[in-house]
Amino acid sequence: MTRDGTVRTRFAPSPTGYLHIGGARTALFSWLHARHTGGKFILRVEDTDAQRSTEESSLQILKAMEWLGLDWDEGPIFQSQRLDIYRSHIQKLLDEGKAYWCECTPDELEAKRKIALEKGEKPKYDLTCRNKGLGPGPGRVVRIALPASGFTSFDDMIKGRITVDNAELDDFILLRSDGMPTYNLVVVIDDALMNITHVIRGDDHVNNTPRQVLLYQAFGFDLPSFAHVPMILGADKTRLSKRHGATSVTAYKDMGYLPEALVNYLVRLSWSHGDQEIFSRQELIELFDIHDVGRSAAVFNPEKLLWLNHHYIKTGDPDRIAGLLPEFLQAKGYPVPEPSYLARVVTDVRERTKTLEEMVEFGDFYFIDRKPPEDLCEKFFTPEIRDAFRMLVERLENTDFSRKEALEEAVQSLLNETGLKFKVLAQPMRVALTGKTVSPGIFEVLATLGRDRAIPRLKRALSYMEKKT
């Protein structure tokens, strides 16, 4: 805790690509812990790797965070703008004899590593330069001087107490030969100076933590609480990667998933609250406890995510979902109709579609005049129903399309007069209106399409029937 008792968490992505599902889950846990405790959530971009970090990736990550609704209270703070801070702290360690310059070349280090491996020893730095009293120079790095004996321990809120023998560690590099500080250094300085009270991150960082604890001690910083969340695995129990399918938040957004579905799914990977599956955002804030996160790796299940997405599409506000459709329409080259029309389309198709992309694909006939293929015309637009179909068109031309009940009454009165079964006209109507054999209910389609779209399509089918006689 800070002096005033405020919890401060952070998410610190490296901008070397899109926001990964695993990173998003870590960000979500960190965000929820801050919101649950009434604390602050800080966004920091760890972009000191100049060769791999890009401004485009930074922007994509920020957009993904915004899309997920993970708002931050401070930031984004870019490490690349804080290099002077890191270097001044390195100088402090040098002045206090807690770090030293090293002139060992990469080739020399590789040779030493091979010798150690041949002897069956752990390949770590052999302290060649530790007592040389070197200063800065071309090709030189700065290393921390770690204790050669004793143990380093920390309490993890998920994994429990973790202890490492200092003899297993080596004098790792703080400043590279190109003048750039290393990850272990900058993360400690930033977390300390930003008063981060809880470091919540993936358990691939567990091995870094003892080194960072020793750096906290070397600087005289207070130690934060650590929580290392388990990895997310694919169905084959290996680390989630592209071979398992989409792995970035942006990819799921582009496929037409809703942010609330992805948030709901991610939070359930390694965390649970009884048997509850569906959570509102407010419920998550009220119920989430970082101590309830399990230790075991979670398996990513695309089918479960799709089920959740379908749930949120079926139960969501049609107007709000309609507002998300234009980019998917534009991607197909379809015109974008007025919002009220889109909302009616959403209501029609959401029971049968699981993503926004599917909505546009399944309901394409609402946006374009989808002329039926010849084989369907041949099958359903037969001379036998021509007269009844002509009567149908005449009835509908004089019917109020704004009322679905009026459309149903018009068709039913025709069936009563002719003695025909509804199924005789239903499929020809469906094919005429949609260009396919599967669609929402006929009367929903008619009402949503409206007179100006529906009547010309029905007349085109009637014309086909008349030409066959």
What distance in Å separates the CA atoms of residue 367 and residue 117, rounded to the nearest whole number? 67
What single-letter DSSP state applies at residue 20? B
> What residues contact 26, with CB distance under 8 A and at least 6 apart?
11, 200, 201, 202, 229
Catalytic residue among 122, 132, 242, 468: 242
Nearest to 291 by CA among 191, 159, 154: 159
Phi/psi-derived region of residue 421, left when phi > 0, alpha when psi is between -120 and 50, beta in every other case: beta
Helix, strand, coil percentages (3-state) for the chain, rounded to 5, are 50, 10, 35
- Cis amide leading into 76 (omega within 30): yes
Reduced to 3 states, what is the DSSP secondary structure of residue 226? strand
What distance in Å separates the CA atoms of residue 24 and residue 13, rounded to the nearest whole number? 9
What distance in Å separates the CA atoms of residue 287 and residue 272, rounded to the nearest whole number? 9
What distance in Å separates the CA atoms of residue 396 and residue 392, rounded to the nearest whole number? 6
> Is 242 one of the catalytic residues?
yes
Structure tokens at 379: 């099958």
CB 28 within 8 A of CB 71: no
Nearest to 99 by CA among 175, 213, 165, 183: 175
Active site residues: 242
